[in-house]
Amino acid sequence: MHFKDNNQPIGIIIEVHGPVVVIDCNRLPPLKQALCTRFDHTLYLFEVHQHLDEKLVRAITLHGTAGLRRGMIVFDTGSPLHVPVSDSCLGRLLNVFGEPLDGGPDLPQQNFRNIHAKPLPLSESIGISGILETGIKVIDLLCPFVKGGKTGLFGGAGVGKTVLVMEFIHAISSIHKGVSVFAGIGERIREAHELWQELQRAGVMDDTLMVFGQMDESPGVRFRVGLSALTYAEYLRDTLHKEVLFVIDNVFRFVQAGSEISSLLGRMPATVGYQPTLTTEVAELQDRILSSRQGAITSVQAVYVPADDMTDPAVSAILSHLDTTVVLSRDQASKGIYPAVDPLRSGSKLMDRTTLGERHYAVAEGVREHLAKYREMEDIIAMLGIEELSENDRKIILRARKLQRYLSQPFSVLADHTKQAGMSVPLSKTLDDCDAFLSGKYDDLSEEQCYMRGGMELPHG
């Protein structure tokens, strides 16, 4: 973090409560202002969160608090938190202040951006514009990504959220020649390290920037690391004029950090113990994910669902901002169908004829109807066997089972582990294949011949 040596003294610390400090100021700094103090050559940064009266402010520490004590002099940095930006940020691993975590050199300290920048003016932002193909069959067909839109990835542990995120990063890099920014909010160090190594092995790290605020860090860091990463995404959008994929893992931990800060500041909790400022805080992050005429930011956000309750206030606040919902299901994973996307619970607000076109809409609806019929009759088949169904129902069920297996796919980022080359399938090919399944062209094929492959005319595996 870069600060001038001539910072002005602004006050002294009079109370320290965990990560919260109360500072007696000779002039009142604005909210979100970054303040600092030094102890044993260590720089401590604070962010102003509350004005208590005309002299006292409450601030959150953005580092560990060991060594802080009453009477320490606090200096004004002259601005809110800002991060160094440069073309050389791609391929790097950074923290909330833009400092390297990968052992590499510091970023050049010439240009800085405020992490609390305002969203683009409405006159300069452009709306969502068509579908962003990922080459992943089930997503392009049933819950397509929207260029410049926001997608939520809902699922528990171990159903493949991280692998799917890595495949999205790979697709943006290889299909669209774009770049990715990954925000790790409250990540475990093991997860962060594994993801970094996997992206290097998959050869996409050169087009990716990773910004981490780890689980053991101050709630102030976990609360702000999403904004730091978003600042880099905005910089890449405005300077490289490229397709930027902005990945957040996990948005729920951003809400949790806000809840911790709210309690520390003494605010009364609201619904189910969440902070009263929940919707504003989520909107502050989400409303900056915008596209301009220079470039687009498309966002993918992993969302943890507490107790699998989609009506949880935090999940509802996040859901209200999303265009596409991808629900990963343990049931699909247990059948060996990866990506484990639940085709009936996932969907997009833009699943209409106008956006998708007549053919895509008709094929997607046909596939959904077949899969819904199969799910409806699974219990009957388990008890009585498929032979007891009418001929028409049997035909639908067999086609649905083949479609279910066809929508599985080997991923490029897992090629080293599975020894199976990754397959990327254009949307037009997926539509042709699904149309052929629905019309009965592949009725003679076995289910194994449809499983874990790319397009149907392509060689198996």
Catalytic residues: 161, 187-188
Strand (E) or helix (H) holding 402: helix 391-406
**Strand residues in 134-239 grouped as ranges (E):** 145-146, 150-154, 179-187, 208-214
At position 321, the amino acid (one-letter code) is: H
Phi, psi at 431, each rounded to 5°: -65, -45
**Alpha-carbon span 288 to 286, nearest angstrom:** 5
Pairing, β 291-292 against β 324-327? unpaired
CB 242 within 8 A of CB 179: yes
Pairing, β 33-39 against β 20-25? unpaired
Q: Return the residue matching tokens 């639908």.
A: 396
CB 165 within 8 A of CB 407: no
Closest-CA residue to 431 (of 128, 129, 138): 138
**Alpha-carbon span 142 to 344, nearest angstrom:** 9
Q: Return the residue matching tokens 């320490």.
A: 72
CB 2 within 8 A of CB 112: yes
Helix, strand or coil, per DSSP, at residue 394: helix
Helix, strand or coil, per DSSP, at residue 160: coil
**Alpha-carbon span 98 to 89, nearest angstrom:** 9
Phi, psi at 423, each rounded to 5°: -120, 130
Strand (E) or helix (H) holding 24: strand 20-25
CB 4 within 8 A of CB 23: no
Pairing, β 150-154 against β 296-303? parallel
For residue 91, give every residue at least 6 positions away whose Cβ sits within 8 Å of its Cβ, in sequence order, or none. Answer: 205, 206, 207, 208, 209
Helix, strand or coil, per DSSP, at residue 257: helix
**Alpha-carbon span 284 to 246, nearest angstrom:** 16
Closest-CA residue to 168 (of 420, 413, 452, 345): 413
Closest-CA residue to 187 (of 128, 239, 250): 250
Quick one: tokens of 371? Answer: 């899969």
At position 292, the amino acid (one-letter code) is: S
